[in-house]
Amino acid sequence: MLAAAPRTRAQLTTGLRRRGIPDEVIAGVLDRYEDVGMIDDRMFAAAWVESRHAGRGLGRRALAYELRQRGVDEATVAEAVSGLTPDQEYTTARRLAARKLATMSRLDHRTRVRRLAGMLVRKGYGAGLTARVVRDVLAAAGDADAADPVDLDAVLDHLGEPEE
């Protein structure tokens, strides 16, 4: 199980239980693996955040969700996602939005706003950052309606995203 890909302690525990291995044996083996550095949830979480943020453009919320799904404890999740700076998140979100906007030249303003905001929220970016990025990307593209707060606020309300 370790050879295929890095795994968290929780993932390994689940996999070994499925194979019928007793809990006390699992605990002993995984403790030993931790002692020799073969399992390290902190390193896993840090590498996961770096990889998924750079590769998939995921924001803090999505990254934290994915780590929790893999059994990483809250303190380790918080530590891992705190490594992302607001500037990194903004830069990544803006790059994603600019790439998406390039494919939407024939769409009206409202549709572009809705699609850009929806993509960023699904990627785990908060409402405040999403609003800022969408406005900035539209303004940089010369969209005359880019500064219109009504459209973007309505879209974010529709998406059910809480304010930051």
- The answer to whether 131 and 156 have CB atoms below 8 angstroms apart is yes
Cα gap 45→149, rounded to integer Å: 36
pTM of the model: 0.80
The residue among 32, 5, 29 whose CA lies nearest residue 19 is 29
- Alpha helix locations (H) across the chain? 9-18, 23-35, 41-56, 60-69, 74-81, 86-101, 109-122, 127-140, 149-159
- Structure token pair of residue 127: 């409402």
- Quick check: 81 and 117 in contact, CB under 8 A? no
Kindly report, residue by residue over 21-70, the tens digit of the pLDDT: 999 998 998 989 888 888 889 999 999 999 999 999 999 999 999 999 99
Q: Is the pLDDT of residue 2 over 70?
A: no
Query: Within 13 Å and on the Cβ side, how many CA atoms surround 147?
Result: 2
The 10s digit of each residue's pLDDT in 69-103 is 999 999 999 999 999 999 999 999 999 999 999 99
In the block, residue with structure tokens 């906007």: 101
As given in the structure block, the two tokens for residue 78 are 């918080």
